[in-house]
Amino acid sequence: GTVAELRKASKRLSCHKRYKIQKKIREHHRKLRKEAKKRGRKKPRKDPGIPSAAPFKEELLREAEQRKQRLEELKQKQKLDRQKELEKRRKLDAKKNAAKIKENAEGKESSKKSRAKTKKLLDKNSPKSFCRELEKVIEASDVILEVLDARDPLGCRCPQLEQAVCSRPDKKLLLVLNKIDLVPKENLEKWLNYLKNEFPTIAFKSATLLKDRNMLEKVKKGSARIDLSKNTECFGSECLLKLLREHCKTQNKAIQVGVVGFPNVGKSSIINGLKGARACNVGPARGVTKAMQIVPVDKQMKILDSPGIVADPSNSTLALAMRSIIDTGESGLANVVEGIDAIISHCNKQQVMLYYSIPDFRTTEEFLTLLAQKRGMLKKGGLPDTENVARLLLCDWTGAKISYHSHPPEQQRLPPYLTEDKIAEMQKDFNLKKLEEENTTTVQALKYPNLASSIIFQSAEMTNGTIEESQVVEKASDDMNLEGDGEDDNEEEDEEENFTGSDDDQDNMEEEE
């Protein structure tokens, strides 16, 4: 049955208590009166006026009278001025209101459109703005580094970008295989051998920050004094810097190096690795970098950071889930769940069950429910919080958290824009033999997950990206209405100074949620 409501405590007092309180009050008043008496009352002293015996009494009185009159007049004048001002304001407001009513009547639609246009122009988060910034970076760079996630290198390649670079004779394209510590060693070597036939490829592992949970909590509370410029070791930066400096020498001029790639592949982290300090803002959320940023490395070389490539909405659901910036607010929830569905369906189910240590599941919804229960992520009433789990998972799969790997294609199929001559031209100024030795050194220096524990992932084809601003589909701006919904609102305001996490350090995401 229903539990009887608790009765509120009564406000009645016993007589004894009441009289005691009244007595205390009387005493207090008496004390106050006594103190006032001691101090003595200070009455305002009356103006004694001018004594009759004073000479020029008449004149003094007249002067006082005149002063009084002048003050009165001034007051009157100020009052009138105030009234006039109010009248003016009222008229102005009335005019404005009339204009507003007229505008609304003429056409709410047109005003809405124009407002939306200006808003879009101002919106740093819009795909158009991202494309504009990316175009700037490609235009300004002599060497372009396309950053790939070693777990799905093919899915991180953008044919439109590669074609844009190949069509310009004065530009070089290098591939940087990042997050190599998350794939089995054999798989990494296969990919390096596959990719080097198309473009010079560098193996790389960015430095990551705040790996353990306690550290993160301390940082949140602000009790830990952490030097954010110091982070875990970075591998491959020496090799890449040597390569770029050699190119500088052969060109005999200062060069600009553009770093491009899809969101969350670790572009800004690579720049931090090359610079040896936290020059760029990085974080576990997608789309932290919103505009081009120039980082000078030395006199001969500047590095340009770019926002992520905008994935074309025509891509497969899997590609969009992994490579586009998905709105993780309420409106984008369906996209998040759809994306996770696509990711899980492209993996070995047994391995996913083992990795998350959950029993067999039939649908994605069931998978999310089981995972929420396992992690204790519950809403009111003990319901599993599948939305938050879904958001976390999306972050895990692009962040530096889950080890999974995809196999390179059996046969090397060159994309149409890559001819043998073009490949030779791209490789021309680089010492490839030395690069291969350096890569081997980098590969040997790291620890890798073993093949059995790494989830097998069926990669999609290359992901189409939108490079030119004019090609941005309007729908895309709703589809990927970028993550401003909370995750990087703060980062937006203070992009250069507010450093909180690391680009490929998604571990934090879990604790933060």
Cβ–Cβ contacts within 10 Å for residue 21, how many?
11
When mean pLDDT is compared over 45-59, 74-88, 139-153, the highest value belongs to: 74-88
Six token digits for residue 487: 């995750």
Check: CB of residue 204 under 8 Å from CB of residue 273: yes
Mean pLDDT rounded to a whole number for the chain: 75
How far is C-alpha 286 from the geometric centre of its chain's CA atoms?
6
pTM: 0.63
Residues 6+ apart with CB under 8 A from 450: 184
Could you tell me the pLDDT band of residue 124, with boundaries at 50, 70 and 90? low
Which helix (H) or strand (E) segment is 146 a member of? strand 143-149
Residue 354, pLDDT > 60, answer yes
Could you tell me the pLDDT band of residue 68, with boundaries at 50, 70 and 90? very high
Rounded CA-CA distance 386/403 in Å is 23
Residue 483, pLDDT > 50, answer no
Rounded CA-CA distance 321/101 in Å is 45
Task: Using the Cα atoms of residue 125, residue 391, residue 504 and residue 339 in order, give the sign of their dihedral.
Answer: negative
Check: CB of residue 219 under 8 Å from CB of residue 226: yes
Name which residue leads in pLDDT, 220 or 81: 81
Interaxial angle between packed helices 267-275 and 237-251, expressed in degrees from 0 to 180 and rounded to the nearest 10: 80
Q: 3-state DSSP call for residue 357?
A: coil
DSSP3 helix / strand / coil % (the chain, rounded to 5):
50, 10, 40
- The rounded percent of the chain whose pLDDT value lies above 70 is 78
Check: CB of residue 466 under 8 Å from CB of residue 164: no
Phi, psi of 461 (to 5 degrees): -75, -170
Residues, the chain: 513
pLDDT of residue 88: 95
Residue 173, pLDDT > 60, answer yes
Rounded CA-CA distance 137/147 in Å is 14
Check: CB of residue 326 under 8 Å from CB of residue 335: yes
Check: CB of residue 328 under 8 Å from CB of residue 394: yes
| Residue 142 DSSP class | S
Give one DSSP letter per residue of 34-71, joined into a string. HHHHHH---PPPPP----TTSTTHHHHHHHHHHHHHHH
Rounded CA-CA distance 242/238 in Å is 6
Rounded CA-CA distance 129/122 in Å is 9
Check: CB of residue 290 under 8 Å from CB of residue 307: yes
Up-side HSE of residue 329: CA atoms within 13 Å toward CB?
13
Across 244-250, average pLDDT: 80
| Residue 9 DSSP class | P
Rounded CA-CA distance 458/440 in Å is 26
Residues 6+ apart with CB under 8 A from 455: 347, 348, 351, 352, 355, 402, 403, 404, 405
How far is C-alpha 96 from the geometric centre of its chain's CA atoms?
39
**Residue type, position 417, single letter:** Y
Could you tell me the pLDDT band of residue 417, with boundaries at 50, 70 and 90? confident
Residues 6+ apart with CB under 8 A from 510: 392, 396, 401
pLDDT of residue 327: 62
Give ∠ CA 458-205-213 in degrees, rounded to 5: 90
Give ∠ CA 172-280-200 in degrees, rounded to 5: 25
Residue 497, pLDDT > 50, answer no
Domains recognised in the chain with CATH numbers: 121-313+406-449+461-512 (3.40.50.300), 317-395 (1.10.1580)
